[in-house]
Amino acid sequence: MKKIIFLTGTRADYGKLKSLMKVVQDSEKFELYVFVTGMHMLQKYGSTYHEIEKDGFENIYKYINQKSNTHHHMDIALSNTITGLSNYCDEVSPDMIVVHGDRLEALAGAVVGAFNNIKVMHIEGGEVSGTIDESIRHSITKMSHYHLVANEEAKRRIIQLGEKEKSIFVFGSPDIDIMYSGKLPSIKLVKEKYKITFENYSILMYHPVTTEIDKLEQNIKQVVNAVLQSNKNYVVIYPNNDTGSDIVLKEYNRLKGNEKFIVYPSMRFEYFLTLLKECEFIIGNSSSGIREACAYGKAAIDIGNRQKGRYNQTVKNITHTNENCCEILSSILNSENIKVDPISHFGKGDSDKKFLEIISSNEIWDDDIQKKFIDIDF
């Protein structure tokens, strides 16, 4: 029986990995292990490791890789995660480590796997992230042995990075599995659970752009000014815990006591999806505005450079704006005119089935772990 470790550090990557973890746990061919760290372990962000436990996954190992009450240093958190995961792998002796996206915890998983001759499978490589996240994502690609990508465009980028084509599998985006599952909670249940009294509302999610940290205080001030002046209702969700998150949270203090705003450290993924499905629009710089909003046909206002390059002009539900109060306000007012049909550019909701087929292939396990750079003919 093959042992597979899934590494999760945030509410976002857990939402992407959840359906894949379930098919592994339900299979008689594999044994699931879950290494839980990062934001999951911080009370400040809602201690979301509880959600993983509630979902009934087995062999969960919880590891604190950072302190919540000090300035966040991504390099130190990376180092701590490498140490903790390396020790865990020494105990478990896994056959594979599965990581997702562009977070530092995923980079730690790829490093530990590569250095210890453990096969690494990377979910959603080959995408453009903006900020330091893009460098992290491509670094993970170079340390990983297999690449499960969302679409053909991502596949082409990974080939451009020198990876062999047969190591790349186009399987969509696993969060679409949950979005199309028909098992999401009702909006009534979501509003009851999170005490949301708004009939109509929008969602604000804004993350620090670590390569523009010197501009962050002014940028988030412009965002908050705009949503305050819009006189609309907002459900606001905390940023991720990258460098600068405290600056964003400090600015959110201006929303306290304002009946137009409800602020949450985190939200269960399925409940967030229902909230998104029923909202007027989503605003900020979260990938949810690029991926999930499009699949639900919801208007998205993308602010700044964090998601730059992840979509093009053919995606009609997204409006890009700079961190300028007047521009943001104009985009908010115009969002009422955006009417588009739901469409997924990231799969059909069957990523879990495709994943099980891929890891069940003997070729995956028999393939040489030594990587070689594949040149492109120019």
Do the Cβ atoms of 37 and 241 come closer than 8 Å?
no
Query: Tens of pLDDT along 246-276?
Result: 999 999 999 999 999 999 999 999 999 999 9
pLDDT of residue 162: 97
3-state secondary structure of 264: strand
- Note the Cα 357 to chain centre separation in Å: 24
DSSP structure string for 278-344 = TSSEEEES-GGGTTHHHHHT-EEEEESSTTTTS--TT-TTEEEE-S-HHHHHHHHHHGGG-------
Domain count of the fold of the chain: 2
Predicted pLDDT of residue 57: 96
Q: How many CB atoms lie within 10 A of CB 152?
A: 11
Shared-domain flag, residues 69 and 156: yes
pLDDT for residue 71: 60
For residues 205 and 105, state if they share a domain. no
Residues 352 and 330 in one domain: no
The 10 Å Cβ neighbour count of residue 75 is 9
Q: What are phi and psi of 276, to 5 degrees?
A: -65, -40
Same domain? For 25 and 143 the reply is: yes
Mark the ranges of the chain whose per-residue pLDDT is less than 50. Answer: none
pLDDT of res. 339: 82
Judge whether 259 lies within some domain: yes
pLDDT of residue 175: 86
Model pLDDT, residue 330: 96
One domain, residues 45 and 147: yes
Residues in the chain: 378
pLDDT at 200: 96
| Rounded CA separation 194/223 (Å) | 24
| Strand order across the beta sheet in which 168-170 lies | 60-62, 30-36, 2-8, 96-100, 119-123, 146-149, 168-170
Are 258 and 355 in the same domain? no
pLDDT of residue 69: 67
pLDDT attached to residue 119: 98
The predicted structure's pLDDT at residue 68:
76
Nearest to 40 by CA among 32, 50, 48: 48
pTM (2 d.p.):
0.89
Q: Which domain holds residue 122?
A: 2-174+346-366
Q: Are residues 97 and 198 in the same domain?
A: no
CATH code for position 108:
3.40.50.2000
